[in-house]
A and B are shown apart, each in its own frame.
Chain A
Amino acid sequence: MGNPRFWLSLLALTAAGELLAAPPATGNRLSFVSCPIVRDTRSVPCWLSEYEGNTYYLTIQSDVSAEVQPPMLGHKVLVEGVVSAAPAVCGGIVLEKVRLSVMPEQDASCNTMLPADEHYTIDFNPRPPGPSGGRLAFDPSPASATAPAPAPPKGPQTFQLYFDFDKSVSFRHPAPLVSILEMAEKLHATRMTVTGVRGAHKLSNGNLLQESAGVGQRRAEEVAGLLLGAGLKIPATTTWIDGTPDADGVDDWQSRRVTVELLP
């Protein structure tokens, strides 16, 4: 059995995930479902998640306009990203091209909140409450405010709307839906096709994670109904792809989508 103290130490380190976890190779794509973890900091909290003994940095709390929005305690999160060589943030390995999707079912085990720790700081100054020199979350950026008007659209115009896992229309969609309405007016669209897709993910552990059957239809019908309900008065064809989906582990989040095509 060897030295029992060695084995006890090994057991303790293993439990802490500090020995057996091989550091991930830079550039590796990861796709996993795990509990999110909140770590408080002096400014805003940061969000982490653990997978196969490693801790990954996901994002920080910022604003509704953030490109990557934090997940939710009480739910697992589907994480996709590419391992980065960047210095760790908040104690987590940084993932590039990170995509997060809150899993819809509740999971009470996802309840870890870590206190602020002086070892972990983040290079972010949150917008303070009240008047300041910061940028309003909903304001157009200076670049977009001065950008030249786009050329008048010609030919069919296609839009992709992406969804959280097993979810339909949410807070993510008012802006793209408004864009579709505006384009339909500019294009003098005469027809619209709306195609909903049931997505899937090839996880890093080799498992295939599929969305629920019927979600493609639900998404397509909801999106079409919303556009028509908002005043789009053109014939709409609604289709869906709700079969057994496959996935290759590369940007699988794009499989959870609705495609809207406007035809002049």
Chain B
Amino acid sequence: MRVNISNKGKYWCSSLLLLASLCSDGHAQPASAPADLWWAPGSGQMLPASVDYPDESGRLGLINTSGAIGTSGHPFFEALGTNGRACVTCHQPANAMSLALTTIQQRWQATAGSDPLFAPIDGQNCPDQPRAEAASHSLLLQRGLFRVALPWPPRDSKGNVTTPEFTIEVARDPTRCNRHPVYGIDGTRHEISVYRRPRPAANLRYVSASKFGVTPFIGKTGMLAAVDPETGKPVNMNMMADAREATLKTQAQSAAHSHMEVSKPLTADQLSRIQQFELQLYAAQRWSTLGGALDEAGGPSGLGPQNMANGRDGVLGNNTSNYVFPMEDKWSQLPAGNDAKEKERNGFRASVARGHDVFFYRTFWISDAMHINTVGLGNPIKRTCATCHGMHMTGMDTANGWMDLGTTNRPWALEPPESPWAKELPSLPLFKLTCRADLPPHPFLGRVIYTQDPGRALISGKCEDVGAIVIQQFRGLAARAPYFVNGSAANLRELVDFYDRRFNIRFTEQEKVDLVNFLGVL
């Protein structure tokens, strides 16, 4: 059931205030965003089998392959903890099951900050700051970042304290949490607070597929892979930014505790229902404002939510038999078009096709990137975007996908310039990590590393993992800005510009435009 174009779905359109034009014509462009697409915990709405939401470049499509489900009583949609939040609070259907900064800001305005979204536990820069003040939520309101508190020193999978390869100091504490007497590293809770974006809870059949390159040992480091506690089998460790949770169930259990403040663990039935729901949900851009329908018959097989639902998971895309995002050259040789509208559409589609080719074929020198230049390919390597973003249909890495591309580590991480006249002050913490002298240094950053977020190293304790972040999926991007783990790219152009600077790619302006257009239709 595709709600916005079917008679059966009209109740849905009205209940969600979707525009009349959207309900009457599945390919119509919404004139503006509906007033309120917020899905509140416990609202009890039906989630249709297929539904569209307006976003920055058209419409996001969401497909639930099990058919429409009632969300009343469903553990994904009900507030299970003490702070009024549900999973859906931070994984909103209208935002590709993630959470866009614009949605956060709208919610702040609509509720004067009283929504459970802004719960002190992680919706504030530090839990004991005044809840009613926007300044207490500045990272959430300005960059879409939630506080993630991790134990220090790290614990292994059995909860035992491990000895890290580095010491850590707080070099900058703008959130006043990492030097806090309770929440700080040396506080009574012995935690480190880092600030990260929520990842999409859709297309997780791909994200959690443990097929290619998954062994008991992590392919890039040789260390032990995490295992599914139910099966005892290794998993791909591709779900969270730091790969700290092995499965959808362990992630749900952990999130219930750390984000929803549940008083007791979720039941086996609740975990199974959450897992089942997440594995049947697919999100991708369905309609492009300039490019039209992305899921039309005969179109590229790599676009649209239905192709996501039909696609093969756990498949390497950058190889001899698959593309990452198959386009089949469908948009490479389009006619100019007969009228202005068709010309505009075909021109945009041609740009998307060129953007795909930039992603897939445009070589540049990838250098000094931990866990890509250190796995036998050499430093530098002359490759393409698809070298790292190689998973078929998602653009993630296929297994054990953490790398340091410089999004959080100096010198590449985006930081406002330090000067007496600066109008913008650094908003993220900065940590100084000193690696042990009796072990090899980080191959590119040496023994003293400054980072906004040590990433995987907060879990593994390994010096080589400092700033290494699991690659995210590329789907539904237009619905969930900002980007990167620390929200440092406000839009897709800034994302492309980051890579251009980081790897000295020297994209042409046309290449950047094409790449942005391509990413915007995924």
Please give the residue numbers on chain A whose beta carbons come within 8 Å of chain B beta carbons, in ascending order. Answer: 38, 40, 44-45, 47, 61, 63-64, 66, 69-75, 102, 104-106, 113, 127, 129-138, 166-167, 169-175, 177-178, 181, 212, 214, 226, 229-231
Contact = CB atoms under 8 A, between A and B. Distances in A.
A134 B319 CA distance: 9
A177 B377 CA distance: 21
Interface stretch (B12-20, B320-328, B337-345): B320-328
Interface string B207-223: 00000110111111111
Nearest to A43: B382
Contact of A170 (B221, B318, B367, B444): B221
Contacts of B382: 40, 44-45, 61
A171 B220 contact: yes
B386 A129 contact: yes
Interface in B201-257: 212-213, 215-224, 232
Contacts of A133: 320
B379 A134 contact: no
Interface in B298-336: 316, 318-323
14 contacts: A64-B376, A72-B378, A104-B441, A105-B441, A113-B365, A113-B380, A132-B320, A138-B316, A171-B219, A172-B376, A173-B217, A174-B217, A178-B217, A214-B438
A230 to B, nearest CB: 4
A174 B215 contact: yes
A112 to B, nearest CB: 12
B132 interface: no
A98 to B, nearest CB: 14
Contact of A226 (B217, B319, B379): B217
Interface in B66-80: none
Given A104-B440, A129-B318, A226-B222, 4 more contacts: A64-B377, A73-B367, A127-B320, A169-B223
A61 B378 contact: yes
B516 to A, nearest CB: 20
A70 B377 CA distance: 6
Contact of B379 (A72, A104, A136, A229): A72
B351 interface: no
B1 interface: no
Task: State the main secondary structure of chain A at its contact with B.
Answer: loop
Contacts of B316: 136, 138
B325 to A, nearest CB: 11
B443 interface: yes
A178 B378 contact: no
A15 B223 CA distance: 46
Given A105-B441, A132-B320, A136-B321, A231 B216 contact: yes
B360 interface: yes
B43 to A, nearest CB: 44
Contact of B443 (A61, A63, A104, A172): A104
A95 to B, nearest CB: 17
B452 interface: no
Contacts of A130: 318, 322-323, 360
B375 interface: yes
B11 interface: no
B375 A64 contact: yes
Q: Which 9 A-B pairs have CB atoms at the shortest separation, nearest pair first?
A: A70-B378, A72-B379, A104-B440, A174-B217, A69-B376, A169-B222, A230-B216, A173-B222, A171-B375
Contacts of A75: 379, 443
Contacts of A175: 215
Contacts of B45: none
A230 B215 CA distance: 10
A177 B443 contact: no
A181 B216 CA distance: 10
